[in-house]
Each structure stands twice: as C-alpha cells, then as structure tokens.
Amino acid sequence: MVFNTRFALAEEYDLCQSQVDEYQNNVNGHILLRNVIPESEIAELRTSVLRTHEALKHEEEDFQKAFRITQNLWEINDTVRAHVLSKRYAGIAAKLLGCRDVRIYHDLTFFKEGLGKGKPTPWHQDGHYWPLDTEGCITLWVPLIDCPVDMGPMSFVSGSHLNKNAEHLPISDESDEYIRNLVEKENLSVAPAQHMNAGDATFHSCWTYHAAASNTTDRTRIAFAVAYYDADAKVPVQPPNNERRAANLARWFPGAVPGGPAATEKNPAVLCPHD
C-alpha cells in the first residue's frame, strides 16, 4: 500500500488550543479551518476526484437530489489515497477528537448540481449510519472549488453533538422537519454556512446536526469528505439496530467481529500505520 510521500501533505496543520477547545469541551462539535489542503495540491486532487468519481459512476447514489456520492475513492486512485492517508488531515482529526490516532471509515464525494438542481441537504445526524462503539467519530468536508454561500456549504447546530435525538432517522424530509422543530422549540444555536475557499475544510462530529442549502450558482459544488474515528474503537457487541448500520458494518468493516477491534484492511490507522 502506498502511504503519503508528499511533503506538503505530511506538514502538520497549525491547530491552536483555542480551536481544539472550540470543537471539544462540549462547545460546538464542528469547526471551519482555513487552508487545510495545501494550495499546491488542490488542482491535482480535484482532477483525481473527478476522474475517480467517473470511474465509479456505476455505483453513484443520488440522495434526494441533494447530492451525488461515490465512496472509497482512496482504494483506487493514488492521489486520493495520498490525501486520505495524509498525516496532515488525520492529525487535525485526532487532535479534535483527543485520541492518539484515527482510522479511515470511508471517503466520499458530495457533488451538488448547480442552477438549483442540487436541492437542500436535509438536516440530519450521521450517527444513524455509523456502526461503531465510540463517540470519537468525525468527518472532514472540503470543497475542491471555491464554495460561496449560494453553492451550499454546510450549516451546523452548535452543541447538538451532545445528544442523539435524531439517531433513529436517516437523512430525509423527516429528519429535516424533526431537527428544525428541535431547533425552534429548544432555541438551539445554528452556525450558518460560511463562504469556503477551495481547500478550506469543516470538521463535524457524527452527532452534530448539519444541513446545506441548494446550489443556485451555475457550477456543480465539488466537495470531498473523509470520515475518521478513534483508532482504538471497537465494533459494538450488540448487532446493528438499523439496516443502514448493518450495511455499513458489512461494507466498511469486512470480517470484523462483534466486540472486536474496528480495524480491517479497509481501516488503516494513519498516524501510526503499523498498529
């Protein structure tokens, strides 16, 4: 397996303690960081993501017209692999989670069509889908072209990662309505979407409520995401309690056993790769 050998991707991201505190310490459960992808690397990653998405077109899924996804591009493209397995991004994820190392759950494209064809992403909690026994789950989401607010970068509900109120709901109109009602009834704090330049990234917990507006620009929103988790996580002893967790367990943790480490060949540890 080729691990990252590119200097810019090995360079540590300068994350300050106040940013870690903003994410941790029961405050936000999400953070926007600038220039996470080194500028010198963005164009090649974008080309590779587009090309690999095309190669995986037969597997493409369209979520309620909100976005089109393909998954685990890192397994078939060397450039994508260098990014997904980069210590730079994994180092941020581990610091935000407060763990010694992270493993790869999977990566995915999030393409939202322009001219309003890419509908709003419904409010949801990713935790509905994650088949792990840890709260240490985090997603890096990065646009690979500049992403103004009218292209649909993400909004988050600050502090919502401290509950699992929408755990029972997959992403849908129902999850959207359910979370909107909670926000209104409980007067929750919504962090509105912000302009992101290509290479800026958001990180959010799998329990943070998040959504995105429709893309009204004339360009497709080309975004890419990597989902990481605490490298010491296990597969729950109890069988998955919904069909999406069951499918994800089988697909992303092949051969893993209940109560055993969540560490198959599809889940390399990034910071200490020989674990």
Q: Which CB atom, from 139 or from 217, has the smaller least distance to ligand AKG?
A: 139
Q: How far, in whole angstroms, is CA 55 from its chain's centroid?
A: 21
Structure-block tokens of residue 28:
């936000």
Among 36, 42, 48, 67, binds ligand AKG (CB under 6 A): 67
Rule CB under 6 A: is residue 121 a binding residue for ligand AKG? yes
Q: Which CB atom, from 120 or from 261, has the smaller least distance to ligand AKG?
A: 120
Minimum distance, C-beta of residue 86 to ligand AKG, in the bound complex (Å): 18
Rule CB under 6 A: is residue 142 a binding residue for ligand AKG? no
Minimum distance, C-beta of residue 148 to ligand AKG, in the bound complex (Å): 15
Minimum distance, C-beta of residue 60 to ligand AKG, in the bound complex (Å): 14
CA–CA dist 16, 13 (Å, integer): 9
Rule CB under 6 A: is residue 207 a binding residue for ligand AKG? no
CA–CA dist 149, 146 (Å, integer): 10
- The set of residues, in sequence order, having a beta carbon less than 8 Å from that of 48 and lying 6+ positions away, is 73, 77, 79, 80
Rule CB under 6 A: is residue 212 a binding residue for ligand AKG? yes
# chain residues binding ligand AKG, by CB under 6 A: 11
For 53-79, b/e burial (b = at least 16 CB within 10 A) is beebeeeeeebeebbbbbbbbbbebeb
Query: In terms of C-beta density within 10 A (0-12 exposed, 13-18 middle, 19 or more buried), how is residue 170 classed?
Result: middle
> Where do contacts with ligand AKG occur on this chain (CB under 6 A)?
67, 110, 112, 121, 126, 139, 141, 210, 212, 223, 225
